[in-house]
Amino acid sequence: MIIIKRIKGTIENTIYDALSEIKYKPQHERVLIKPCIPSPCRVGTPYIASHKITAGVINYLRHQGIEEIIVGEGPLRDYNRTFVVSGYEKMCKEKDVRLINLHYAERRGIAWDYGEIQIPSLIFDSEYINIAKLKVHTSTTVTLGMKNQMGLLRKEDNKNIHLLGLHRPIAALASVIKPNLTIIDAINGEQGGPPGKHGHEVQGINLVICGTSLLSTDATAARLMGFSLENILHLSIAKDMNLSIFDDEMMGVPLDECQMNFIPLTDHRKIYNLYYHWTDETCSGCLGLMAEIRATALTHPWHLGRFIRHGLLQRIDIFTGKPKIIMETNGHIIGIGNCMLDIASKHGIPFVPGCPPRAVDVLRKI
């Protein structure tokens, strides 16, 4: 069962009504809610799931008689700041629910297609609710409920999924970890922009998608964004794995009345004459490094001088992951991150080690 619900009145009440309409009933006495809050983004930005949606879920669960509710996420960095800036710490205190960092959670190993993977033990004896955000992604085209599950993993397993090929491992993870409920926050969203530019907010969507099948819910959200599922590799693989993408009854706003055309992200980002390239093997550590490089340069005069002198007056190409081709440019080429070691050695280009490297070390190579 899937519902596309237009937000009317408060977000919290809309969520409550949506879950009532699909007759969602938790099957466990304890509930783990895993929202998408990977980094310290302020309330209302299109990069994190709104704390108001989570609050609406908590209200519904309480009405269903659930007393033990836990909100958990494994942020990429700045753990405490992420919970504060996103509004989750305050909301959880007001609702009297536990907010935990999944990086510190007790774990249990389970078998999957690539051997064994460590998952928070809470998953196995709790109702599990996955709250994702309507966003595009550099490597997976979209980042919805399936990719949001990577926030359950240890950092080393998260990185390994990228090295294993990213798309099939995401589908494989969905075959062994299945939420009881998946919610996509489509209040607003993130799409791409001009080549080389970062994502841009899509405002005024004012929808929420709820479903009891992870893959059906993701497929619905992807179609709402205007993407062909054949071009979203992890969803296509999941479909081939017979994980039942299109078996659910649809309720609420008809899909053809709210379908949009999101612009995908490119495989590089450009700031002035600095080009930052990535591949499927580039994990979130190196993907997030571009912003850190810029921030470090702006707060350190010596690095700022080098950044201006080299990043403005000549072209610099920074490569991450495992690019199949190192393009010839008229500028300076740098390889960063341990994934680039063999390629940098083969091409004889300057290399900055680390997983991820420090921004200050990258700036010293510029």
DSSP 3-state of 110: strand
**Domain match, 79 and 185 both:** yes
Confidence at 314, pLDDT banded by 50, 70, 90 = confident
**Domain match, 234 and 113 both:** yes
**Domain match, 280 and 142 both:** no
Contacts of residue 196, defined as CB under 8 A and 6 or more positions apart, other chains included, come to 266, 268, 269, 270, 275
Q: Is residue 164 part of a domain?
A: yes
Domain hosting residue 322, numbered range: 268-365
**Domain match, 282 and 349 both:** yes
Q: Is residue 193 part of a domain?
A: yes
Q: Is residue 263 part of a domain?
A: no
Query: What was the pLDDT predicted at 76?
Result: 86
Count H helices and E strands in the chain, helices first: 15, 17
**Domain match, 116 and 70 both:** yes
Distance CA 195, CA 193 (A): 6
Q: Is residue 218 part of a domain?
A: yes
Single residue among 240, 258, 276 that ends a domain in this structure = 258
Mean pLDDT (whole number) for 159-178 = 95
Query: What was the pLDDT predicted at 38?
Result: 92
Query: What was the pLDDT predicted at 245?
Result: 55
- Phi, psi of 303, deg, nearest 5: -70, -35
Is the predicted pLDDT of residue 299 greater than 90, yes or no?
Answer: no
Question: What is the percent of the chain with per-residue pLDDT over 90, rounded to a whole number?
Answer: 73
**Domain match, 148 and 237 both:** yes
**Domain match, 176 and 323 both:** no
- Say how many domains are in the chain: 2
**Domain match, 116 and 145 both:** yes
Instruction: Give the torsion through C-alpha atoms of 307, 313, 319, 320, to 10 deg.
Output: 20
Mean pLDDT (whole number) for 58-83 = 95
**Domain match, 308 and 344 both:** yes
Single residue among 224, 258, 292 that ends a domain in this structure = 258
Confidence at 206, pLDDT banded by 50, 70, 90 = very high
**Domain match, 125 and 198 both:** yes
Is the predicted pLDDT of residue 311 greater than 80, yes or no?
Answer: no
| Tens of pLDDT, residues 259-270 | 999 999 887 888
Is the predicted pLDDT of residue 325 greater than 90, yes or no?
Answer: no
Confidence at 78, pLDDT banded by 50, 70, 90 = confident
Q: Is residue 54 part of a domain?
A: yes
- Between β-strands 207-211 and 181-191, what pairing exists: parallel, antiparallel or unpaired? antiparallel
On average, the pLDDT of the chain sits at 92
Single residue among 258, 283, 314 that ends a domain in this structure = 258
**Domain match, 228 and 292 both:** no
Q: Is residue 121 part of a domain?
A: yes
Mean pLDDT (whole number) for 100-110 = 97
Confidence at 30, pLDDT banded by 50, 70, 90 = very high
**Domain match, 54 and 182 both:** yes
| Tens of pLDDT, residues 125-148 | 999 999 999 999 989 999 999 999
